[in-house]
C-alpha cells in the first residue's frame, strides 16, 4: 500500500504508475481517495475541535461552580451536552471514511522502480543474463513425471483417488532427493548468515491482507471453514507477518531469515500440458528467504538475494537465467521483481524456479512494521523475499539436467552428503 501523501501531493504520479501497469480501470480510485481524504481530514478536525472544546468548557464549568455561578454553569452544561451528542456522529463518519479510504488504497498498486521494463504481461519480461552453458543431449529426455516413474518415485493416480488432481505421492529415491535438496538449500542459506525458521502454516485474514493483494488472495489462498485462518501459499506470508505492529530497533536490521514450509495454492486459472506432471500443483514444499531492512539498503539486498539463487542452482549443475519482470507482470505490492529460470533440456527453453521481489514499504505499511532510528524517529522497514528452492518444480530441472543416457541421474558433489553419499540414482 502506498503512502497517502503521494495522492495528496502528486496524484498524477500515482495515475501514471497505474497506467504503466496497464490497470486503467483503477484510475478512478485515485480521485476517489483524494476527495474522501479531504472530507476525512475535515471531519477529523471537527471531531478533534469538539473534544477539545468539551474539555475547555468543562474546566470553565468547574470554575463557575466554585464561584457559585450556578446559572451560568448550567447554561454551559447544556452546550457541552449538545457538543457531546454530536461527537459520536462525527467519530462514526470519521471511522467510516477511514475504512473506505483504506479499502480503496489497498487496491492501488505500489510505485514501481524507474528501470522496470514497461509491458502488459509476462511475454514482455526481459532476459538480462545467463549463467551456465545450456546443453541438449543426443538421447531423448522423457517427461519429468516419466523420469520419476522410472525410479518408482511418483504415484499421481493414487493421489488422485485420495486427494484429487494437483496432488502426488513421492517415493523412494525421488522422495529422498526431494528432501535432500530442501536440506541442502537450508544449509546453503544458513551459511549465508540467514536465520533458519519454521513458521506457522496458517495465518489470520489481517495477516493475509498485509502481505498480498486481494486478487492474489482470491486466486491463491485456501480458507479454513468457520475459522479466521488461511493456509499459507508461501512461508513469506507468515514470516513477514511475524513482525506485524512491531517497532524494531535500528540495530536489529537487517533481519535475514530462511524458512521451510509446505505451501498450499488453489492455482486458479492454471492450465496446460504441465498439469499432468508436478509443475502446477496444490501442495508443495519450499525453502524461502526473507529480508527486512532499512530503505536505503533494500536494492542492495535485492541484488544479493537473486544472486544467491543463481549460485545455488549452479552448484547443482543447472544452467539458469535472470529474467526481469515487466510492469504488467508485477503483483500490486511489488516495486521490482525478477525470475530465476532453469534450463529444460527436454523443452529446450527456460522455466521459472525462483522469484525475487523488493516490495519497499508496501507490506510494512499494511502491517505497521517500523523501526526506531537513533534520532528517535520511526520509519517503515522495506521487505524482500525470494525462493531458495521449491521442489518438486526444482526437481524437474534437476532430473532433466543430470539425466544420463542409461536412465540414471547423477548427484552433484554438493548434494551427495544429503543423499547418503550416493553419486547417482538408478532405475529400479
CATH number of 4-105: 1.10.287.40
Tracing cell 513458521 back to the chain, one arrives at 199
Q: Could you give phi then psi for residue 283, rounded to 5 degrees?
A: -140, 130
- In terms of Cβ atoms closer than 10 Å to its own Cβ (0-12, 13-18, 19+), residue 71 is exposed
**Chain region(s) in the chain for CATH 3.30.930.10:** 122-425
Looking at residue 272, its pLDDT comes to: 42
Supply the CATH classification number for the domain 122-425: 3.30.930.10
Residues 108-134 have pLDDT tens digits of: 999 999 999 999 999 999 999 999 999
Phi/psi-derived region of residue 219, left when phi > 0, alpha when psi is between -120 and 50, beta in every other case: alpha
**Which residue, chain included where needed, has cell 472544546?**
53
Cis status, amide bond into 254, omega within 30 of 0: yes
Residue in the structure block whose three cell numbers are 547443482: 316
User: CATH 1.10.287.40 in the chain, residues?
Assistant: 4-105
Give the count of beta carbons closer than 10 Å to the beta carbon of residue 25: 9
pLDDT digits (tens, 9 = 90+) for 337-350: 999 999 999 999 99
Q: In this predicted model, what pLDDT tens digit does every residue of 98-112 receive, in sequence order?
A: 999 999 999 999 999
The reply to whether the predicted model has a pTM over 0.85 is yes
Res 322 pLDDT > 70: yes
Percent helix / strand / coil, the chain, rounded to 5: 50, 20, 30
Query: What is the predicted pLDDT for the residue at 275?
Result: 55
Q: What end-to-end distance do the CA atoms of the chain give, in Å?
A: 53
What confidence tier does 271 reach under pLDDT thresholds 50, 70, 90? very low
Amino acid at each position: 500500500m502506498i503512502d497517502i501523501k503521494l495522492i495528496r501531493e502528486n496524484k498524477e504520479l500515482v495515475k501514471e504508475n497505474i497506467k504503466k501497469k496497464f490497470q486503467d480501470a483503477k484510475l478512478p480510485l485515485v480521485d476517489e481517495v483524494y476527495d474522501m481524504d479531504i472530507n476525512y481530514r475535515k471531519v477529523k478536525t471537527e471531531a478533534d475541535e469538539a473534544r477539545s472544546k468539551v474539555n475547555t468548557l468543562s474546566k470553565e464549568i468547574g470554575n463557575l461552580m466554585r464561584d457559585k455561578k450556578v446559572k451560568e454553569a448550567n447554561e454551559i452544561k447544556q452546550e457541552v451536552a449538545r457538543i457531546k451528542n454530536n461527537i459520536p456522529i462525527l467519530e462514526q463518519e470519521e471511522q467510516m471514511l477511514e475504512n473506505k479510504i483504506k479499502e480503496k488504497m489497498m487496491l492501488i498498486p505500489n510505485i514501481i522502480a524507474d528501470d522496470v521494463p514497461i509491458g502488459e504481461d509476462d511475454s514482455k519480461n526481459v532476459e538480462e543474463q545467463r549463467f551456465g552453458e545450456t546443453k541438449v543431449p543426443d538421447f531423448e529426455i522423457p517427461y519429468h513425471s516419466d523420469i520419476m516413474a522410472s525410479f518408482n518415485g511418483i504415484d499421481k493416480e493414487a493421489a488422485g483417488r485420495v486427494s484429487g488432481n494437483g496432488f502426488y505421492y513421492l517415493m523412494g529415491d525421488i522422495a529422498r532427493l526431494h528432501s535432500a535438496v530442501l536440506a541442502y538449500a537450508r544449509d546453503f542459506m544458513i551459511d549465508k548468515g540467514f536465520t533458519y525458521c519454521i513458521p506457522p502454516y496458517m495465518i489470520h485474514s489481517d495477516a493475509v491482507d498485509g502481505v498480498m493483494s486481494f486478487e492474489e488472495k482470491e486466486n491463491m489462498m485456501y480458507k479454513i471453514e468457520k475459522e479466521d485462518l488461511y493456509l499459507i501459499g508461501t512461508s513469506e506470508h507468515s514470516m513477514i507477518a511475524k513482525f506485524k505492529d512491531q517497532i524494531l530497533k535500528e540495530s536489529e536490521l537487517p533481519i535475514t531469515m530462511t524458512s521451510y514450509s509446505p505451501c498450499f495454492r488453489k492455482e486458479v486459472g492454471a492450465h496446460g500440458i504441465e498439469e499432468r506432471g508436478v509443475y502446477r500443483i496444490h501442495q508443495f514444499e519450499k525453502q524461502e528467504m526473507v529480508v527486512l531492512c532499512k530503505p536505503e539498503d533494500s536494492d542492495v539486498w535485492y541484488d544479493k538475494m537473486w544472486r544467491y539463487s543463481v549460485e545455488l542452482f549452479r552448484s547443482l549443475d543447472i544452467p539458469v537465467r535472470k529474467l526481469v519482470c515487466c510492469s504488467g507482470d508485477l503483483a500490486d505490492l511489488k516495486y521490482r521483481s525478477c525470475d530465476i529460470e532453469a534450463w529444460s533440456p527436454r523443452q529446450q527453453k527456460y522455466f521459472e524456479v525462483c522469484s525475487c521481489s523488493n516490495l519497499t514499504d508496501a507490506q510494512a505499511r499494511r502491517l505497521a512494521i517500523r523501526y526506531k532510528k537513533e534520532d528517535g524517529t520511526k520509519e517503515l522497514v522495506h521487505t524482500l523475499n525470494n525462493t531458495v528452492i521449491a521442489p518438486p518444480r526444482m526437481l524437474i530441472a534437476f532430473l532433466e539436467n543430470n539425466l544420463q543416457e542409461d536412465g540414471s541421474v547423477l548427484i552433484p558433489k554438493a548434494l551427495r552428503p544429503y543423499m547418503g553419499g550416493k553419486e547417482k540414482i538408478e532405475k529400479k
